[in-house]
Chain A
Amino acid sequence: MKLELGIIKISDIQFAAESKVEGSTLYVNKDELKALIMEDETFASCELDIARPGESVRITPVKDVIEPRVKVSGEGGVFPGWMAKVKTVGSGRTNVLKGCAVVTTGKIVGFQEGIIDMCGEGAKYTPFSQLNNLVLCVEPVEGTLQHAYEKAVRIAGLKAATYLGKLAKDIEAEEVRTYETPSITEGIKLYPGLPRVGYVLMLQSQGLLHDTYVYGVDAKQSLTTMLYPTETMDGAIISGNCVSACDKNTTYHHLNNPVIEDLYARHGKDLNFVGVIITNENVYLADKERSSDWSAKLCEFLGLDGAIISQEGFGNPDTDLIMNCKKIEAKGVKTVIITDEYAGQDGASQSLADADVAANACVTGGNANTVIHLPKMDKVIGHIEYVDKIAGGWSGSLQEDGSIIAELQVITGATNEMGFNTFSAR
């Protein structure tokens, strides 16, 4: 399967009378997009705002971040199962509005979380401070239940990103990136001497506000299965996860998975990137047994020499991570795990809730308990009163001068467990 990504660079977003992409500016007709979002009767109101890199703006509480993309050629459409039919995606050409994103915000639950600062100390910890963000603030009609509100906000974000993506359908991209995965047998013939490496992508699937969807299917109801890596680039996987801002995989992360990007960069050179195995992180222990058995079975079945395993979340998923690692290693396949740490504010405590000697190669996204001080911002988009209540904040986190003292876990994407972050010891 072969996919070309047409990269259309966006360096600014402006509200205008007509929605269009001109040069590197994305113009948005606010009323038109608002009307589209408000078609959903769940919403009482919808506000759109723009946050640019370097501006004194804080966005909170962040639900999801989504990159606008559009299918130019090839089967299916971006976000299959949601914004397009369930046809298999990942081939042909897709245009990407690179440098911008849709950010959704809404107070779904009382402890809703996630901060994106567009400048200052906090901006260093989130990759989304580097993007031009169109922020969608949607409020529900009274009496809307949390799960219905979550679903509505999730779909509103996808709708907005699809609306923006379509503006770039007919643009001829100057930069085109090509990604190709051969069939198993072709791969063996093409790269006979190279180690066969797979990617085990663990998806958050514990339940309400902790969900991920694949082609519209709730991941907790799926057996461990396989994707061509390029399917993820067309939005085959979307996030419905609202909990644990620092280490949740937003839809943006799934579209731009750095493990897939890096494995492709070395594909055919010093390794053979065979494919992506997706598995879940359910709370029922028998599900964990079954899913991790299947991860290991598929690694064996594909004849892998090595596997990279990334997780999403904290606590319960640590157990899935270690089960996957142990069982895959037991099949004679070498593994590297990617996680983050809750090692206490001093970094001295045990980092994970589970461990095993088989997990002897580990990449960490950083310690989520690290204490940071975020300066006051001139403008807040969303609801700042939630800062005292979000994960990693505490009573008094919000200082009188408007600054915030909190743990790193308040920042969206700070310790991302795909490695898509800026926190590093390098």
Chain B
Amino acid sequence: MIILTNNPDVQNMLTDRSVCFVEGSYRDVLVRARDMVHQGHRLLTHPLMGSLKPNETPYRSVGLSEEKGSLDFDSLQLIENAIETFDKFAAVTRPDRGSNTPERMLADFRLIDASLLKTALESAEQPPDFRR
């Protein structure tokens, strides 16, 4: 499984081979995932996992298939819907988010994202090696 993430905790949690780190926003991760879907990868985890709203948490991790095939329309629909939902929430700005988010909250957001992804990896048939 290829993991797209902008969450440093995920990068630290997993062996490097499965992580593709995105220097950017939650939305940037979704857009990169959409690019990969167009290249024939399939989504393996839900792009909106977690009940934290897209205008709350700045972190996002998405799992995609390593193998490529023909365009998977279910994946495409999921990722397009996710980007549309992201943009809907982004319309309501949260001034205490982004660069103003306190570190303790950022740490909690990273923890939730990494934990939910870890849950998904444990569900996967061949979970990658965990560093810890």
Query: Which of A's residues lie within 8 Å of B, judged by CB?
Result: 109-111, 146-147, 204, 206-210, 220, 241, 243-244, 248, 282-288, 313-316, 318-319, 342, 344-345, 349-350, 353-354, 369, 388-389, 391, 394-396, 407
Interface residue SS majority, chain A: loop
User: Do the beta carbons of B44 and A209 come within 8 Å of each other?
Assistant: no
Least CB separation from B103: chain A residue: A110
The docked-state distance in angstroms from the alpha carbon of A313 to that of B46 is: 14
Contact of A207 among B81, B84, B100, B118 (CB under 8 A): B118
Contact A283 B119 (CB under 8 A): yes
Known: A110-B104, A210-B51. A342 touches B95 (CB 8 A): no
- A305 CB to nearest B CB, Å: 29
Contact (Cβ within 8 A) A391 B52: yes
Q: Which residue of the partner chain B has the closest CB to A344?
A: B88
Contact B89 A342 (CB under 8 A): yes
Query: Which single residue of chain B is at the shortest CB-CB distance from A394?
Result: B94
Contact between chains at A283 and B46 (CB < 8 Å): yes
Using A210-B51, A395-B95 as known contacts, say yes or no to A111 and B56 having CB atoms under 8 A apart: yes
B70 at interface, CB cutoff 8 A: no
CB-CB < 8 A to A369: which residues of B? 92
CA distance A395 to B96 in the complex (A): 5
User: In whole angstroms, how far apart are the Cα atoms of A285 and B96 in the complex?
Assistant: 32
On whether the beta carbons of A243 and B50 are closer than 8 Å, the reply is yes
Bitwise, B73-116 to A at CB < 8 A (1) or not (0) is 00000100110110011011111100010101101110110011
Interface string of B40-52 (1 = CB under 8 A from A): 0001111011111
Question: A315 to B50, Cβ gap below 8 A?
Answer: yes
Q: Is the CB of B46 within 8 A of A319?
A: yes
**B108 contacts A287, C-beta separation under 8 Å:** no
**Are A316 and B112 touching (Cβ within 8 A)?**
no
Contact B50 A316 (CB under 8 A): yes
Could you tell me the distance in whole angstroms from the C-beta of B77 to the nearest C-beta in chain A?
A: 8
